[in-house]
């Protein structure tokens, strides 16, 4: 099996990138993380990647203030140098230009901490709490020009609890991100994803059955006359 050469793009902690690295340690996983690329030299995830023997690179976005094209040319050079075929955005906090996104169409995925199309953008957990939703979660999607708008590959839902804090909810979602992202990248790398009329279609992937409800709808108490 030839494994697809993946770059994980990070801006900070890199816990999703670490989950991808862990999955790729299995030789049967269809992707190898050939590069961890950060737009910040102080991203904590870089040290973790290096400690696992994974190649790392930094293209400081701050050095290209106001020059997004120049920033992306520098990133493309790193991606080409490492023979990258697929990009996994993993907490990469820069918006990419339409040109960059078009060049990587169908080959770039992102993980977002909400059940898209609910709560695109930032502060998703605080916004979910403020909106009072009972289910929240994360989404892996193909990246298209519209931010957080591309075809959805996979989603995981978690309950929002009555006494939740933003931190508790974020942690519950993050646990699911770490399970979902390696699976979704594996499906893309194995060629199990195609896009039809703007919708991602998966082949050979087991679909969940049943339903997740919160609160649990137990049978209502019967009042006897
Ligand atoms: C993750 O929760 C990820 O879903 C989110 O940033 C966090 C990065 O954590 N991404 C976005 O908000 C992208 N818009 P990590 O660096 O530990 O993976």
Give percent of the chain with pLDDT exceeding 70.
97
**Across 115-136, average pLDDT:** 98
pLDDT of the residue at 1: 83
Q: What atom of ligand 1 comes closest to residue 174's alpha carbon?
A: 2
pLDDT > 90 fraction of the chain, expressed in percent and rounded? 95
Are 124 and 133 spatial neighbours (Cβ–Cβ below 8 Å)?
no
> What was the pLDDT predicted at 223?
65
Per-residue model confidence as pLDDT tens digits over 175-220:
999 999 999 999 999 999 999 999 999 999 999 999 999 999 886 6
Query: Which residue has the least CA distance to atom 9 on ligand 1?
Result: 91
> Per-residue pLDDT for 109 more than 90?
yes
Q: Which two tokens stand for residue 194?
A: 């195609």
DSSP-assigned letter for residue 114: S
Give the separation between CA 203 and CA 51, rounded to whole angstroms: 35
Of 16, 46, 94, 176, the residue with max ligand 1 atoms within 8 A of its CB, to mutate for a pocket test, comes to 16
Residue with CA closest to ligand 1 atom 17: 15
Q: Is position 112 annotated as part of the catalytic site?
A: yes
Task: Set out the domains of the chain in order of their start, with CATH numbers.
Answer: 1-104 (3.40.50.170), 110-205 (3.40.50.170)
Amino acid 224: pLDDT: 62
Query: Looking at residue 225, what is its pLDDT?
Result: 61
Residue 47 scores a pLDDT above 80: yes
With a 6 A CB cut-off, is 38 part of the ligand 1 pocket? Answer: no
**Radius of gyration (Cα) for the chain, nearest Å?**
19
pLDDT at 82: 98
């Amino acid at each position: 099996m030839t494994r697809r050469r993946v770059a994980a793009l990070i801006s900070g902690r890199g816990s999703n990138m670490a989950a991808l690295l862990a999955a790729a340690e299995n030789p049967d996983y269809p992707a190898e993380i050939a590069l961890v690329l950060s737009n910040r030299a102080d991203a904590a995830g870089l040290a973790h990647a290096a400690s696992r023997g994974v190649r790392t690179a930094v293209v400081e976005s701050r050095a290209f203030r106001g020059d997004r094209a120049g920033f992306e040319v520098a990133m493309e050079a790193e991606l080409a140098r490492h023979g990258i075929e697929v990009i996994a955005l993993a907490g990469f906090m820069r918006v990419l230009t339409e040109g960059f996104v078009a060049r990587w169409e169908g080959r770039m995925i992102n993980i977002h901490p909400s059940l898209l199309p609910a709560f695109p953008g930032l502060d998703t957990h605080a916004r979910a709490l403020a909106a009072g939703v009972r289910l929240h979660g994360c989404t892996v999607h193909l990246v298209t020009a519209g931010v957080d708008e591309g075809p959805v590959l996979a989603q995981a839902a978690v309950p929002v609890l009555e006494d939740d804090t933003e931190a508790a909810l974020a942690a519950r979602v993050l646990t699911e991100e770490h399970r979902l992202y390696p699976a979704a990248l594996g499906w893309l790398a194995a060629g199990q994803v195609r896009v039809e009329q703007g919708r991602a279609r998966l082949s050979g992937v087991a679909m969940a059955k049943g339903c997740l409800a919160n609160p649990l709808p137990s049978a209502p108490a019967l009042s006897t006359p």
